[in-house]
Copies of this chain bind each other. A is one copy, B any other.
Amino acid sequence: MASLRQNDNQNIEDETITSREKVSTTTTVNEISLRNKPLKKCFLPPPTILDNIIKTKKRKNNIGEKYLFQNYSHQYENKNNIKFKKKMCASSRVCKMATINTSEENTLLDNQSSSSTDIKPPYLINSEPYSVAKQLLSKIDKCSSSSQRESLNSITSEKISLMTASEQSSVVQPLLTDLYQISMAYAYWKANKHQEMATFDLYFRKNPFGGEYTLFAGLEECLKFIRDYKFHPTDIDYLRTVLPTYTEQEYYDYLLQLDMNNIKIYAVPEGTVVFPRIPLLRIEGPILKTQLLETTLLTLVNYASLVATNAARFRSAIGTEKALLEFGLRRAQGPDGGLSASKYCYLGGFDGTSNVLAGKLYGIPIKGTHAHAYVSSYESMDDLTERELCDRKSGERRPFADLCLKYLNELGPILKILPEQTNKGELAAFTSYALAFPTNFLALVDTYEVLKSGLPNFLAVARALHECKYQAVGLRLDSGDLAYLSLEVRAKFREAATKFNIDYFKDFNIVASNDINEETLVSLEKQGHSIDTFGIGTHLVTCQKQPALGCVYKLVELDTSPRIKVSQDIEKVTIPGRKNLYRIFGHDGKALCDLLTKYDEPVPQPSVKILSRHPFSDQRRAYVTPTSVESLYKLYWADGEIKEQLPSLKDVREYAKDQLNQLRKDHIRDLNPTPYKVSVTEALFTFMHELWMKNIPIGELD
């Protein structure tokens, strides 16, 4: 049978399919077993037997006992299992586990059922948490309506309610900015210039990681920040201690009542593939307000886009077949760095995260099993307080720990190892973990020695689970030569599958998670490996190769007059004036170039030839005849409300994937990619260069 490994991939791949309604056509044994049947319980042996087990284990306190003999009640309990309960035994430690009718046995093991299931085991199979998460979020909102700064409830549009304040880090607030924004705001106000209408462009000058594309991310957070923009009275109290004492009270009054209702935000949609010099956001409004937004918008866009792009590059390096999980929270740059990483790595093409809060807040599938500490916490099989597992179908109690030992001995000759040399603390840890999660057993196998200890112990437990009609998920490698180990492990899986005559053994999921970066993935693909899933942390979330994206925020128009920032560094010269942005597509549906036009220029038309010019270099120009033209800007914020229905994170993820498919492969490849062209119209070129000349002083040689 095709079995669990494929199923896992299937479930992960489901995440990348646009329709949320899609029902998986294959399901796991475990899922099926729980599908149409009432959940029943089975119990451990009566106290007399249990006592023997407990004797093997010192007790440090009595608290544990409380759980040992109490009666059990559960939401899934129903009439059907009351009988079963009586039949088994009462008042012993609960071994609550779903069981199934024996009549279903064959169907189950043949894995042919296709109806949907409501069971979501924690590892790799947590594919549709969105609706649940959304419900939760609304609950949280009620619970925590008082848990936000009052001011955050200000100006939400009634029509479009999409984001909850609880999703937003409380540190995203007006004071999360550079002091000079507030100084400048005062100077504008003092000069009575604060109401002049300004346009700012937010853009970057260079793609990150030596690549030739960037995924734009962070827009939703920007809009939330703008929507909720409000100084708190204590903010003003603080500013009073910072600004000169002669700063007028009216200025503070003005700040206190400030909101962002009369500004406009045009932006490219979140998840769009973007390039140097194209304004990702165009911010229009009174200069004091638009100036105040600079730092926070940059903070929200820079890292979000950087890490989303990094994730997309990892995905591109390994292809679409493998599962990619983000495991970076512990090494992220601050708690919120970790949370942002989880969100935007998912956007960039990852399948899940280990970060539970990201799961709760953003509905991202969360994954994880156990750590080395869990393995180290057992020293021998004597440490096991529970040794029995109920058969999944019959409910019959099975001596699970003894089965594990038995199968370990059988594995000796199969794997050519000495069963007595595997670490028995590790075996005990695997056994107890399987007892806790029989439907989701995935073992970390490198605490002692992968091939001589971790692998045999894993296979022994997997074989014992099979005996009880459960199917193990796989194992995780966290050190050593991942290519070599994965191939060795896969070979052993195949041998075990043959010897035990259990086909799915050859397809166990191999997860690898040791300090993996983009180059590791490229190299693994080249040398060959047998890894199904990658757990990636440090290098992904901290963007080791380039830890910052350099978005800037530049004034391009004030009071209807264009502004330019010239510089001796030509790349730092701004493209002045309000502009529109179009993506030009060729015959093959691939993007040819992006074109910036003056705000009042006509929209480029399909089949009409245009002269596109390099913004800085006279000589570089080309004619282009679009097959189709896409206008990239949408109006996202105006009149104090969000003007576009924002897509879910999952939809943004799909959109980003489509966006990358619109690019020619040579723009995306990891080695020497071709730069994508960002050009300006003839009119914009002339306009810009005239202003440029006007603004540079002519020196005098002496």
Contact = CB atoms under 8 A, between A and B. Distances in A.
Nearest to A180: B368
B356 A178 contact: yes
A366 B243 CA distance: 10
A628 to B, nearest CB: 36
Interface string A131-174: 01100100110011011110000000000000000000111110
A354 interface: yes
A602 interface: no
Residue of A58, A75, A303, A446 ringed by the most chain B CB atoms within 10 A: A303
Contacts of A561: 379
Contacts of A121: 244
Nearest to A58: B559
A377 B555 CA distance: 8
Interface string A219-262: 00000000000001111011101111110111000000000000
B171 A335 contact: yes
Nearest to A515: B550
Nearest to A178: B354
Contacts of A563: 376-377
A370 B197 CA distance: 19
B198 A377 contact: yes
A527 interface: no
A144 B133 contact: no
B558 A548 contact: no
A253 to B, nearest CB: 10
B384 A191 contact: yes
A74 interface: yes
Nearest to A307: B333
Nearest to A331: B548
A606 interface: no
A139 B241 CA distance: 14
B60 A559 contact: yes
Nearest to A576: B376
A30 B422 CA distance: 77
A299 B330 contact: yes
Contact of A132 (B186, B241, B373, B379): B241
Interface string A21-39: 0000000000000100001
B64 A195 contact: yes
A429 B287 CA distance: 14
Nearest to A481: B568
Nearest to A373: B555
Interface stretch (A403-411, A538-546, A583-591, A629-637): A538-546
A386 interface: yes
A20 to B, nearest CB: 15
Contacts of A423: 695, 697
Interface in A431-472: 432-433, 435-437, 439-440, 446-449, 452-453
Contacts of A376: 554-555, 558, 563-565
A378 B440 CA distance: 65
A62 to B, nearest CB: 9
A98 interface: yes
Given A191-B432, A246-B39, A448-B697, A299 B335 contact: yes
Given A386-B190, A448-B695, A245 B183 contact: no
B548 A180 contact: no
A294 to B, nearest CB: 7
B356 A175 contact: yes
A139 B237 contact: yes
A98 to B, nearest CB: 6
Interface in A292-317: 294-296, 298-300, 302-303, 306-307
B133 A238 contact: yes
Contacts of A58: 559
Contacts of A133: 238, 241
Residue of A306, A355, A376 ringed by the most chain B CB atoms within 10 A: A376
Contacts of A435: 187, 190-191
Contact of A74 (B75, B249, B371): B249
A70 B234 CA distance: 26
A578 B295 CA distance: 46
Interface residues of A, number: 182
Interface in A600-628: none
A67 interface: yes
A193 B334 contact: no
A177 interface: yes
Nearest to A290: B373
B122 A242 contact: yes
Interface stretch (A337-345, A500-508, A656-664): A337-345
Contact of A439 (B118, B244, B356, B554): B244
Contact of A192 (B197, B385, B447): B385
Contact of A335 (B118, B169, B565, B699): B169
A547 interface: yes
Residue of A287, A374, A379, A549 ringed by the most chain B CB atoms within 10 A: A374
Contacts of A667: none
Given A244-B437, A250-B67, A567 B357 contact: no
Nearest to A34: B245
Contact of A143 (B184, B232, B296, B372): B232
Given A331-B548, A333-B334, A567-B479, A98 B246 contact: yes
A370 B249 contact: no
Contact of A191 (B329, B379, B386): B386
A202 to B, nearest CB: 11
A44 to B, nearest CB: 11
A246 B96 contact: yes
A551 B337 CA distance: 16
A261 to B, nearest CB: 13
A596 B21 CA distance: 58
A331 B173 contact: no
B565 A359 contact: no
A337 B337 contact: yes
A251 B458 CA distance: 26
A360 interface: yes
A444 B383 CA distance: 69
A1 interface: no
Closest 7 A/B residue pairs (Cβ):
A336-B336, A180-B368, A179-B368, A333-B333, A542-B547, A298-B330, A421-B697
